[in-house]
Amino acid sequence: MIKLPDDETPLILLGDVFERIKELPDKSVNLVVTSPPYWQQRDYGEIGQIGNENTPDEYIRKMARLGDEIRRILADNGAYFLNIGDKYFKKNLQMIPFKLAIEMQNRGWVIRNVIIWHKINAMPSSIKDRFANTYEPIFFFAKNTENYLAPEYYFNLDAVRIPHKGPLLRKSDLPLTLSIEEYEKMKDELKFEKNEYNGKFRNAKRLNMGASPGARISVYGEFYSRQRKHKIGADLELEIIKFIKEHKNKVGITTEEIDKIFGYKDTAGHWFRTDRGGRCLPKPSDWLKLKEILRIADDKYDKIMTEEHYVLQTVKSHENGKNPGDVWEFATGKLKDAHFAIFPDELPRRAILSCTRKNDIVFDPFAGSGTTLKVAKELGRRSIGIEMQKEFLRIIQKRCAEIKVL
């Protein structure tokens, strides 16, 4: 196994991707961003090259086999962004990207998004019997880890939000938050917008409206919801669950016994689960009682677990910007050293910012001109690339200033 990079200098493994990827340790990279050679698009003159197979099915099998290796080296909380183009054969679009994506699902991957890369500078086309192609798909994969009901991957949406154009959307002049004391004093004076609604949810309870405030507001108008004051992210949630689970095991009490004390049924079991799909934290009102049952003297989580306030359920813009969505509009990159279109920097940048932390390892099994590695270095991430074409090393080094080659 190779030694993983210990700084931001990109590491290039020169040679066949199937041979060199075997040298990477299990679960050693945090993110994969790549675009492989497309089927029957270009002949690099190398034995064993990907993209020169006789049939689309052969190409798909080879790419899926590489996906198995990528799944091996990817951390359980990692992600894989695959940009892949399609091909017409005898005037018939082969649907290669989507056939490959389905095969990846069959091999244990979860598809979180099909992102459409709209090429705003797409090449003019002389085709007269169909519409010109101006996009390529990018598949956002996560590992479907065993014993997880939902994929547990790192994702930071706030890092890639897009600034709003114009004033922020705000439906009400009421305060966005109220302390418990403020709400109790003002609740009789608060006047909420009343909607004239006569749809299918007219007799439903608010809890049945779903997670979206907009869905509930469309029926009932604005209202305040009592919530925890402190945001508890996935990492902290898991930390707290492990903390109380350790004390539960020390005391030797079962979840059924805890349920009986609280007067619940099949509730306490979720407080000690570590899978993302089945775990949850105790309600603020249950926290101190649970601590007594588990004989916990440590108060380090008391504040974040018990402090509450009222939050206005209204339609409003996120203060940090909007979700970029699954249509990304970028021009193809240009590079005078290469005779083909390259990744735009913003494509790997968005993937890296949303799915990695500083000093994480980004991997590109088809390094090409080195765009993914270049952007990873700019963002303070370590990176590894595999490249078969020795002449590309000069381009990568020029773009990254310094590289290490093995």
pLDDT value at position 292? Answer: 96
CA neighbours closer than 13 Å in the CB half-sphere of residue 193: 17
305-330 confidence digits (pLDDT tens): 999 999 887 777 788 899 999 999 99
pLDDT value at position 145? Answer: 65
pLDDT band at residue 219 under the 50/70/90 scheme: very low
Per-residue pLDDT averaged across 233-262, rounded?
Answer: 94
44-98 confidence digits (pLDDT tens): 767 778 989 999 999 999 999 999 999 999 999 999 999 999 999 999 999 999 9
End-to-end CA distance of the chain: 12
DSSP line for 299-332: -TTHHHHH-EEEEEE--B--TT-B---SEEEEPP
CA–CA distances in Å: residue 294 to residues 248, 258, 278: 6, 9, 21
DSSP letter (8 states) at residue 123? P
pLDDT band at residue 21 under the 50/70/90 scheme: very high
Determine the Cα–Cα distance for residues 188 and 211; give it in Å rounded to an integer. Answer: 26
- Residue of 304, 301, 282 whose CA lies nearest to 229: 304
Residue 207 or 343, more confident: 343
pTM metric for this prediction: 0.82
Q: Is the pLDDT of residue 291 over 80?
A: yes
DSSP letter (8 states) at residue 22? G
363-381 confidence digits (pLDDT tens): 999 999 999 999 999 999 9
Determine the Cα–Cα distance for residues 209 and 222; give it in Å rounded to an integer. Answer: 13
pLDDT value at position 213? Answer: 53
pLDDT value at position 209? Answer: 46
* Residue length of the chain: 406
Q: Hey, is 119 helix, strand or coil?
A: strand
Q: Is the pLDDT of residue 135 over 90?
A: yes
Residue 301 or 219, more confident: 301
β-strands 361-364, 177-178: how paired?
unpaired
Burial class (CB in 10 A: 0-12, 13-18, 19+), 192: middle
Determine the Cα–Cα distance for residues 172 and 314; give it in Å rounded to an integer. Answer: 7
Q: Are 33 and 375 in contact (CB under 8 A)?
A: no
Determine the Cα–Cα distance for residues 280 and 121; give it in Å rounded to an integer. Answer: 47
pLDDT value at position 223? Answer: 77
Per-residue pLDDT averaged across 157-182, rounded?
Answer: 83
Residue 4 or 199, more confident: 4
Containing 348, the helix (H) or strand (E) segment is helix 346-355
CATH number (1.20.120.1770, 3.40.50.150, 3.30.1950.10, 3.55.10.10) of 11-157+322-405 reads 3.40.50.150
Every domain of the chain and the residues it spans: 11-157+322-405, 167-230, 234-308
191-210 confidence digits (pLDDT tens): 655 555 454 444 544 444 44
For 24, phi then psi, to 5°, come to -90, 135
Single-letter residue type at 281: L
Single-letter residue type at 135: Y
